[in-house]
Amino acid sequence: MTAETTLKEAGHKMERAVEVTREEFAGVRTGRATPAILNRVTVDYYGTPTPMNQLASFSVPEPRLLVIQPYDRNAMAAMEKAIMQSDLGLSPSNDGQVIRLAFPQLTEERRKELIKVVHGRAEDGKVAVRNVRRHAKEELERLKKDGEISEDDLNRAEKELQKLTDQHVARIDELLSHKEQELLEV
């Protein structure tokens, strides 16, 4: 293992931490209808927990309305039940063909709660990035101890690692400010 390999691996893991944070943000409900909100909802489909996005197609005909078109109409009741049991706070209505989810206007209080949730998830993402940095730093120090890299290489690699960390933390901050603006939008 070389310093470059360690840095490359750390970069991939940090990238993954940013992606996970982005996915977490997608699951936080704003005042707008978006199919991404149902990514974490699983439906008991004939005894098998199945992600909702595998059982239906979604459309957003209006900014506050999500229409779910099940591939199998027999799964409609199970899909409605899964939505009701989720932490989304939405009430589905169906007409026998499609399920409609109306997104109510967010109250000021709910917006503030959601912003706290988003801040927590952003912090989790930053912690994940920092943990990757710590492990990579330990690996670099082990390489130095084993005589595979010099002191100069170690210093260079650690500076590069810090730069990588700063870039990924900044991307999470960027995602956070974008999500905050989305939540504050009336």
For the segment 129-164, what is each residue's pLDDT rounded down to a tens digit?
A: 999 999 999 999 999 899 888 999 999 999 999 999
For the chain, give every residue range classified as CATH 1.10.132.20. Answer: 3-26+107-184
Residue 182's contacts (CB-CB under 8 Å, 6 or more residues apart) are 30, 32
Averaged pLDDT, 3-11: 92
Do residues 101 and 68 make contact, with C-beta atoms less than 8 angstroms apart? yes
Work out the percent of the chain whose per-residue pLDDT is above 70.
98
For residue 111, the model assigns a pLDDT of 83
Residue 89 has pLDDT above 90, yes or no: no
Gap between the Cα atoms of 183 and 186, Å rounded:
8
- Is the domain spanning 3-26+107-184 CATH 1.10.132.20? The answer is yes
pLDDT band, residue 186 (cuts 50/70/90):
low
For residue 27, the model assigns a pLDDT of 74
Which H/E stretch holds residue 133?
Answer: helix 108-145
**Which pLDDT tens digit goes with each residue over 102-125?**
887 778 888 888 888 899 999 999
3-state secondary structure of 50: strand
Do residues 36 and 27 make contact, with C-beta atoms less than 8 angstroms apart? yes
For the question of whether the overall pTM of this predicted structure is more than 0.75, the answer is no
pLDDT band, residue 8 (cuts 50/70/90):
very high
What's the CATH fold of domain 35-102? Gyrase A; domain 2 (3.30.1360)
DSSP codes, 135-182: HHHHHHHHHHHTTSS-HHHHHHHHHHHHHHHHHHHHHHHHHHHHHHHH
Gap between the Cα atoms of 110 and 116, Å rounded:
10
